[in-house]
Structure 1
Amino acid sequence: MTDARGNARPNGEAPAPHPPGTPCWVSLMVHGLEATEEFYGALFGWEFRPGPEQLGPYVRALRDGHAVAGVGVLPPDRRLPIAWTPYFASDDVNATADAVRSCGGTIGVGPLDAGDAGRLAIGSDPGGAVFGIWQPATHTGHVLTGTPGTPAWNELTTYESAPVAKFYGTVFGHDGERTVSADLDHVTLHLDGRPVAAVHGLGRALPRDRGPHWTTYFAVADTDDAVERVRHLGGRVLRPPRDGDRGRSALVADPEGARFAVVQTVR
Structure 2
Amino acid sequence: MTEAPQSAGPNGGAPARYTPGTPCWVSLMAHQVAATEAFYGELFGWEFRPGPKQLGPYVRALLDGHEVAGIGQLPPDRRLPVAWTPYLASDDVDLTAETVRLCGGTLGVGPLDAAEAGRLAIGSDPSGAVFGLWQAGAHQGTGISGVPGTPVWNELVTYEAATVAKFYETLFGYEERRSTADGLDELTLCLDGRPVAGVRGLGPSLPRDRGPHWTTYFEVADTDAALSRVVALGGHVLDPAHDTDRGRTATVADPEGARFALLQRRR
Fold match (TM-score > 0.5):
yes
Report if the CA contact (8 A) 1:130-1:214 is conserved.
yes
Question: Could you report, residue by residue, the CA deviation over 1:200-228 in whole angstroms, capped at 9, with x for unpaired residues?
Answer: 00000101110000000000000000000
Report if the CA contact (8 A) 2:177-2:190 is conserved.
yes
Q: Which residue does 1:226 correspond to in 2? A: 226
Report if the CA contact (8 A) 1:2-1:147 is conserved.
no
Report if the CA contact (8 A) 1:2-1:144 is conserved.
no
SS of the equivalent of 2:70 reads strand
SS of the equivalent of 1:116 reads coil
Q: Which residue does 2:244 correspond to in 1? A: 244
Which has the higher mean CA deviation after the structures are superposed, 16-25 or 248-257? 16-25
- Pairwise mapping of residues 41-80 of structure 1 onto structure 2 (< 5 A)? 41-80=41-80
- CA offset at residue 52 of structure 1? 0.4
Percentage identity across aligned positions? 70
Going from structure 1 to structure 2, the CA distance change for 1:262 and 1:98 (only over 3 Å counts) comes to: same
C-alpha distance in structure 2 between counterparts of 1:15 and 1:185, whole Å: 31
- CA offset at residue 8 of structure 1? 6.2
- CA offset at residue 144 of structure 1? 1.6
Equivalent in 5, 10, 17 of residue 7 of structure 1? 10
Task: State the Cα RMSD in Å.
Answer: 1.6
Q: Which residue does 1:132 correspond to in 2? A: 132
- Pairwise mapping of residues 81-120 of structure 1 onto structure 2 (< 5 A)? 81-120=81-120
Going from structure 1 to structure 2, the CA distance change for 1:74 and 1:8 (only over 3 Å counts) comes to: closer
C-alpha distance in structure 2 between counterparts of 1:198 and 1:69, whole Å: 20
Whether 1:180 aligns to 2:180 is yes
Output the amino acid matched with 2:133: I
C-alpha distance in structure 2 between counterparts of 1:237 and 1:36, whole Å: 17
C-alpha distance in structure 2 between counterparts of 1:27 and 1:127, whole Å: 21
Report if the CA contact (8 A) 2:2-2:153 is conserved.
no
Long gaps (5+) in structure 1:
none
- CA offset at residue 172 of structure 1? 1.5
Going from structure 1 to structure 2, the CA distance change for 1:195 and 1:104 (only over 3 Å counts) comes to: same
C-alpha distance in structure 1 between counterparts of 2:193 and 2:2, whole Å: 16
SS of the equivalent of 2:38 reads helix
Output the amino acid matched with 1:7: P
Q: Which residue does 1:190 correspond to in 2? A: 190
SS of the equivalent of 1:17 reads strand
- CA offset at residue 180 of structure 1? 2.4
Q: Which residue does 1:149 correspond to in 2? A: 149
C-alpha distance in structure 1 between counterparts of 2:2 and 2:35, whole Å: 29
C-alpha distance in structure 2 between counterparts of 1:136 and 1:57, whole Å: 20
C-alpha distance in structure 2 between counterparts of 1:91 and 1:132, whole Å: 13
- CA offset at residue 182 of structure 1? 3.5
Q: Which residue does 1:16 correspond to in 2? A: 16
SS of the equivalent of 2:228 reads helix
Going from structure 1 to structure 2, the CA distance change for 1:116 and 1:126 (only over 3 Å counts) comes to: same
Question: Could you report, residue by residue, the CA deviation over 1:35-55 in whole angstroms, capped at 9, with x for unpaired residues?
Answer: 000000000000001000110
- CA offset at residue 183 of structure 1? 1.2
C-alpha distance in structure 1 between counterparts of 2:2 and 2:145, whole Å: 5
- CA offset at residue 16 of structure 1? 2.4
SS of the equivalent of 1:264 reads strand
Output the amino acid matched with 1:173: G
Q: Which residue does 1:26 correspond to in 2? A: 26
Output the amino acid matched with 1:217: Y
Q: Which residue does 1:171 correspond to in 2? A: 171
SS of the equivalent of 2:17 reads coil
Whether 1:258 aligns to 2:258 is yes
C-alpha distance in structure 1 between counterparts of 2:39 and 2:56, whole Å: 21
C-alpha distance in structure 2 between counterparts of 1:244 and 1:25, whole Å: 25
C-alpha distance in structure 2 between counterparts of 1:225 and 1:254, whole Å: 16
C-alpha distance in structure 2 between counterparts of 1:7 and 1:60, whole Å: 20
